[in-house]
Structure 1
Amino acid sequence: MNYASTRTAKPAFSPLDLQNAPLVLRGLAIVLGTGILAASSYVAVPMIPVPITMQTLAVTLIGALYGWRLGAATVVAWLAEAAMGMPVLANGAGGLHVFVGPTSGYLFSFPVIAAVTGFLAEKGWNGHRPVLAFVAMMIANLLCLVIGGVVLAFMIGAQKAFLFGVLPFLVGAGLKSALGAAILRLLARGRTKPAA
């Protein structure tokens, strides 16, 4: 056994290892990812002006599993589907009007938070280190709330934006971050094998 190689060998940041996959496989991953993101949008609790959905969990997981480039590209592709009118957002919404409505800030934050979780995952904040994975996802969730809340504040005022667009989602952000980190840990378990 070569001790030096095992000491410097680093496990892949994602069990999917898409950064080394052929272009066709990465394209299929984008298609699958947009489907997962659309499905997550339908798991929703209607609220005004912003519904609670599983979108942020799916977006952060896509980022953490795909890496920052492919993760952000997948989220942009999903938002492009929405812009074309496909019913892929919360409650089956789609069309250009959603990008100027009360949820627009959250939607525009999604590629950013996918890139953030993907970047941190590539730096080791992934399923191999579940506490750091949780922190990465929490940072992304809070960033989504900040961006979404700021845009919403221009529409309904800062106080209402915080009360209706940020505060109700803080507990959910923590729970979704914990669930996301647990999923990453389960996927990563058993992937790192000792060198022979």
Structure 2
Amino acid sequence: MLATNKRAVLAEAMLGDTPAKMALHKLGLVVLGVVGMAVSAKMVVPMWPVPMTMGTFAVLTMGAVYGPRLGVVTILAYLLCGTLGLDIFAGSSASVNGLGYMAGPTGGYLVGYVLAVLTLGLAARAGWDRTPPRMALALLGGNIVIYLPGVLWLGVLFGWDKPLMEWGVLPFLLGDALKLSLAACLVPLAWRVFRAPSSGR
């Protein structure tokens, strides 16, 4: 059984905890997570004032479902694929990719992805993924830690006298609110569907 001193995250509750099975399942989840984030990053939804990609939705949701350890391993695998030149980021292309792309304006947000996955994973481990209100708070925290290094890196690249909030935060808030609302409903709903008991009960 799962350890009683911590709560199961959704992936653990769904797949069980037999060591041999979990090792294989975790490898599959890492691959699935990397593919899912790559596909989501390329999904563009028309939105005002800027089009909305589903990359942050995938990152935050994955962090909650996978937990802190598996989530961080998965996001690092995703970033490693990006450093190798794979076209898996929202703004990358066949000709603009790899470390050159990652060191550009998006680089800070990619660092924020790692922090966000860890934030959501720890929140899920504490049971915050079971109800929409707590899940929404966890997602808000995760979104903030994406923006912080993102805006800081914009300041390093372009100067602190530039309108960094207008460039790197404000245009995306409406889309983020929609994505966070969706994730705040879906993860607790998944718990209800699978009826996975909390390990703290």
TM-score normalised according to structure 1 size: 0.84
Q: Which is worse superposed, 155-164 or 57-66?
A: 155-164
Mapped contact 2:7–2:127 kept (Cα < 8 A): no
Q: 1:141 aligns with which of 140, 143, 147?
A: 143
**Aligned-partner Cα distance in 1 for 2:120–2:16:** 15
- Letter paired with 1:95: G
- Letter paired with 2:9: F
| Number of the residue aligned with 2:76 | 76
- Letter paired with 1:163: E
**Displacement after TM superposition at 1:31 (Å):** 0.3
**Displacement after TM superposition at 1:11 (Å):** 7.0
| Number of the residue aligned with 2:169 | 166
Q: How much identity, in percent, do the aligned residues show?
A: 34
Mapped contact 2:92–2:101 kept (Cα < 8 A): no
Q: 2:132 aligns with which of 104, 125, 130?
A: 130
| Number of the residue aligned with 1:102 | 105
| CA distance 1:15–1:70, shift in 2 (3 Å) | closer
| Number of the residue aligned with 2:67 | 67
Per-residue CA deviations over 1:66-125 (Å, capped at 9, x if unaligned) read: 001101110110110010001111144331112210000001111110010010011011
TM-score normalised according to structure 2 size: 0.82
| Number of the residue aligned with 1:44 | 44
**Aligned-partner Cα distance in 1 for 2:65–2:112:** 18
| CA distance 1:19–1:59, shift in 2 (3 Å) | farther
Q: CA RMSD in A?
A: 2.6
| CA distance 1:19–1:104, shift in 2 (3 Å) | farther
| CA distance 1:37–1:193, shift in 2 (3 Å) | closer
Please, which runs of 5 or more residues in structure 1 have no aligned partner?
1-7
**Displacement after TM superposition at 1:160 (Å):** 2.2
Q: Which has the higher contact order (CA 8 A, sep 6+)?
A: 2
Q: How many residues align?
A: 184
- Letter paired with 1:166: V
Q: Is 1:34 matched up with 2:37? A: no
Superposed structure 1 runs of 4+ greater than 6 Å apart: none
**Aligned-partner Cα distance in 2 for 1:167–1:146:** 13
| Number of the residue aligned with 1:4 | none
